[in-house]
Chains A and B, each alone.
Chain A
Amino acid sequence: MSRLLSRFASNLFWLARYMERAENLARILQVNESFARDRLGARDWLPILQLNDDEERFFKIHNEASADNVVHFYLLDRKNPTSIIASVHQARENARALRHLISTEMWTQVNVFHGRLTGLRSKDLALEKLSLVCSEVKESCQAHAGITEGTYYRDEGWHFYNLGRYLERADQTSRLLDIKYRRPSLDIAPSTEDPASDASLWNTLLRSGAGYHAFRRVHPRGMIAADVLRFFLCDPAFPRSITTCVRELEELVAELQREYGLTASTDIKEKLKELNRLACQPTDDEDRGDHVNRLMDRIQFLLVELSNAIDAQFFH
């Protein structure tokens, strides 16, 4: 059996991560655009910078976190490594290194997608067009996932691709929840919130995570913070929940062992177990902002460690 080169395993892992990241960045921009439009205006673009730890870099080149500045920073600024265009560029460079392994259709789609983004100018990002642009980015990322599913040969590489994909998705879901709780005006106990407005924010968040209708099926009435939080954290049927992602990761690790004799290190397995536990066992004060912040920080930290452990074992 021909075995997968370590470098290609890494390229596949990161191709998936960068595509998933671009999709989620588009989701976050879209949801933030809705938040800002609903209520508070310009200063509400600050939380995105906070949740990506980008304040310092951002304020080196911009004076204020205006909508235009932040949107440009995250969509078109190639020098910003956390921008959509930088992610898609990285995805394309990984795909370039994989060109002989992936299908021509996969490469062509990434290439054309990158070309479309490169062609965007600031005027294409006016706020009234932003949602449309974000939808296009999301769709292109989804097209990539679909083409990959439909054409990529199911070897070890497929497993490393999906490890990257679900790891990144779990990370992004935790960031999506962060943005809700990072908003200064809302980072307070439930009793002092304006319930109607809070519900509308949860509503937007669910929609940005493509979970609104599914949530409604599970909870036909009301919009309780704890329910939404549990939905994002541990609904086993919601494709973007942390639990779903972690279970996919566990299954991929098990298959690598079963099908290809690649036994994951104890380090990897323990990180997965801990992530599963964190997502599945919410406590009573689960919907309090400070608790959620700490939980998300812990999850994000574990995901970084998991990524490092995968890298250390397989990519060298």
Chain B
Amino acid sequence: MSRRAVLTNYDHQSFFCELTGRVGENQPGTVEICRLLDKIGLQSLERRARNAERELYNLGITFTVYSDAEAIDRILPFDVIPRVITAADWAVIDRGVRQRVKALNLFLADIYHDQKILKDGVVPAELVLTNANYQKVMQGLDLPQGTYVHICGIDVVRDEAGAFKVLEDNARCPSGVSYVVENRHLMLRTFPDLMDNIGIRRVSDYGLHLQNALAEVAPANIDNPQVVLLSPGFYNSAYFEHVFLAREMGVPLVEGQDLFVDDDDCLYMRTVAGPIRVDVVYRRINDDFLDPKAFRKDSALGVPGLMRAYAKGRVTLANAVGTGVADDKAVYAYMPRIIRYYLDEEAILDNVETHICAEPEALKYTLDHLSELVVKPVGEAGGYGVVVGPQASAAELDALRAQVKADPANYISQPVISLSVSPTLLNGEVVPRHVDLRPFAVTGKDTWVLPGGLTRVALKKGSLVVNSSQGGGSKDTWVLE
């Protein structure tokens, strides 16, 4: 029986392919990976893919769906063919992400202090000040190192020409980094022969960088800060990631019920030896649920009095409260201008061209070109409510038109980007599927970007939506040395 090569019949059509490059112009460093993949052969690839999937179940690298008394564990579908980024491309992303995080932090510090950027009319004041995620309690509060966004995930796509574009900033609780590291461990076990001598940058020290950064932003005069990870608990679909992060940092994975704020305005955790002071909280709970005394009264997930301790500077929250205003899809549109304003630099990573429907001209353009554009509601996450014009029916477009007209400020529109593709194993065939990339940046005093990131892949043919809640999967991301 002859071995079936992996990439022989692979056709990336007119899209930019992350592995094979465009016809006739192989990207440096990727040739060897293609050769090794062909050497492994399709059958072996399929067998290993099945084993890898079973291993994910056994290791419990899952998100859990609870219904009735049943707990159903699901895995994020994993594709065994890696997404490859060359050293030169990575250098651009690394610089671009650091620039963006720096601008985001300066922007947040400004809008919660002097509001110069609003006074100078660079960003409309009402867009920021009336934003649901703008937290008045943050006004005038000084944060250690001036860092608001300690953990940032910036969604980057690549267009037909191979240029990187930022699709979205995630400045609240970006998730997915556990998959970056676990996918790599899985690949190391499953494909030692593919990774030999390639030279791939390490991702396994994420926890160390995170722990160091969080220690750097502890309240002043604390030598050996106690860091905890605050999770909503194991009913949360991202619980595995919380486990992962706590384990990688070696810190307690706490829930609201484990913490309390005492009369001295300090935060404590309940231990077998009595209360122990907590200095830094990496919280994976949204602002609204943090403190029932300050925000939602019905929140059972948070800690009563936490905001009191925070306002007194007795505890650091990562990310800071009120960062959501910076990753709003409408504020996103202003990011190139925000970068120019604070850093006097052009954005290294471009935005996708964005029309803000709150602006009359942009609204008109959007309504006139509805069938060619991607329309997104600004308040939603996870790909919900996104309409891809060229793929929508006439009825869907009519409905969208009515919604946008009724509440223009709730929408932005962007041209359809022909996202780059990466070879993906599906039903025994290797086919091109669209991918994006979420690099993770960790900021204490300075910003460090994990060399890799989460590559999400749209498993449905032709689909441009890569979100896991919309049928997406993930790949290991290789940044070459």
**Interface segment, one of A3-11, A60-68, A143-151:** A3-11
**Interface segment, one of A93-101, A200-208, A218-226:** A93-101
Cα A9 to Cα B271 with chains together (Å): 9
A108 touches B269 (CB 8 A): no
Q: Does B60 contact A (CB under 8 A)?
A: yes
Q: Does B246 contact A (CB under 8 A)?
A: yes
Contact residues of B: prevailing secondary structure: mixed
Partner of A262, one of B246, B254, B273, B276: B273
**Which residues of A sit under 8 angstroms from B276, Cβ to Cβ?**
3
Q: Does A316 contact B (CB under 8 A)?
A: yes
**Which residues of A sit under 8 angstroms from B252, Cβ to Cβ?**
2, 5, 8, 100
Q: Does A156 contact B (CB under 8 A)?
A: yes
A41 → chain B closest CB, angstroms? 35
A77 → chain B closest CB, angstroms? 12
The chain A residue with its CB closest to the CB of B276 is A3
B63 → chain A closest CB, angstroms? 12
Partner of A4, one of B57, B255, B271: B271
A5 touches B270 (CB 8 A): yes
- Binary flags per residue of B259-274, CB closer than 8 Å to A gives 1, else 0: 0000000000111110
B258 touches A6 (CB 8 A): yes
Contact of A7 with B59 at beta-carbon distance under 8 Å, contacts A2-B226, A96-B234, A261-B273 already known: no
Q: Does B253 contact A (CB under 8 A)?
A: yes
**Which residues of B sit under 8 angstroms from A100, Cβ to Cβ?**
229, 242-244, 246-247, 252-253
Cα A169 to Cα B104 with chains together (Å): 57
- Binary flags per residue of B60-82, CB closer than 8 Å to A gives 1, else 0: 10000000010100000000000
Give chain B interface residues in 208-230, CB to chain A under 8 Å. Answer: 226, 229
Q: Does B393 contact A (CB under 8 A)?
A: no
A156 → chain B closest CB, angstroms? 6
B419 → chain A closest CB, angstroms? 35
Q: Does A260 contact B (CB under 8 A)?
A: yes
Q: Does A36 contact B (CB under 8 A)?
A: no
Contact of A156 with B226 at beta-carbon distance under 8 Å, contacts A7-B255, A100-B243, A115-B57 already known: no
Q: Does B9 contact A (CB under 8 A)?
A: no
Q: Does A112 contact B (CB under 8 A)?
A: yes
**Which residues of B sit under 8 angstroms from A101, Cβ to Cβ?**
247, 253
B245 → chain A closest CB, angstroms? 8
- Binary flags per residue of A148-174, CB closer than 8 Å to B gives 1, else 0: 000000001000100000000000000
Give chain A interface residues in 6-34, CB to chain B under 8 Å. Answer: 6-9
A104 touches B272 (CB 8 A): no
Interface size on B, residues (CB 8 A): 28
B273 touches A104 (CB 8 A): no
Partner of A316, one of B57, B59, B270: B270
B257 touches A7 (CB 8 A): yes
Cα A111 to Cα B54 with chains together (Å): 12
A262 touches B272 (CB 8 A): yes
A263 → chain B closest CB, angstroms? 10
A6 touches B270 (CB 8 A): yes
A5 touches B258 (CB 8 A): yes
The chain B residue with its CB closest to the CB of A103 is B247
Cα A6 to Cα B71 with chains together (Å): 25
Q: Does B427 contact A (CB under 8 A)?
A: no
The chain A residue with its CB closest to the CB of B240 is A99
B243 touches A104 (CB 8 A): no
B247 touches A314 (CB 8 A): no
Cα A104 to Cα B56 with chains together (Å): 12
- Binary flags per residue of B15-54, CB closer than 8 Å to A gives 1, else 0: 0000000000000000000000000000000000000000
**Which residues of A sit under 8 angstroms from B257, Cβ to Cβ?**
7
- Binary flags per residue of B264-289, CB closer than 8 Å to A gives 1, else 0: 00000111110010000000000000
Partner of A99, one of B60, B254, B255, B272: B60
B258 touches A7 (CB 8 A): yes
Give chain A interface residues in 224-276, CB to chain B under 8 Å. Answer: 260-262
Q: Does A72 contact B (CB under 8 A)?
A: no
B135 → chain A closest CB, angstroms? 29
**Which residues of B sit under 8 angstroms from A261, Cβ to Cβ?**
273
Contact of A6 with B243 at beta-carbon distance under 8 Å, contacts A97-B234, A108-B60, A111-B58 already known: no
In addition to A78-B69, A314-B272, 11 A-B residue pairs with Cβ atoms within 8 Å of each other are: A3-B271, A3-B273, A4-B272, A5-B252, A5-B272, A6-B270, A6-B272, A96-B239, A108-B60, A156-B272, A316-B270
27 A-B contact pairs sorted by A residue (CB < 8 Å)? A2-B252, A3-B272, A3-B273, A5-B252, A5-B272, A8-B252, A78-B69, A79-B69, A93-B71, A93-B234, A96-B60, A96-B239, A97-B234, A99-B240, A99-B247, A100-B229, A100-B246, A100-B252, A100-B253, A101-B247, A107-B60, A108-B59, A108-B60, A111-B59, A112-B58, A156-B273, A316-B270
Among all A-B residue pairs, the 5 with the closest Cβ atoms: A100-B246, A3-B271, A100-B247, A99-B243, A100-B253
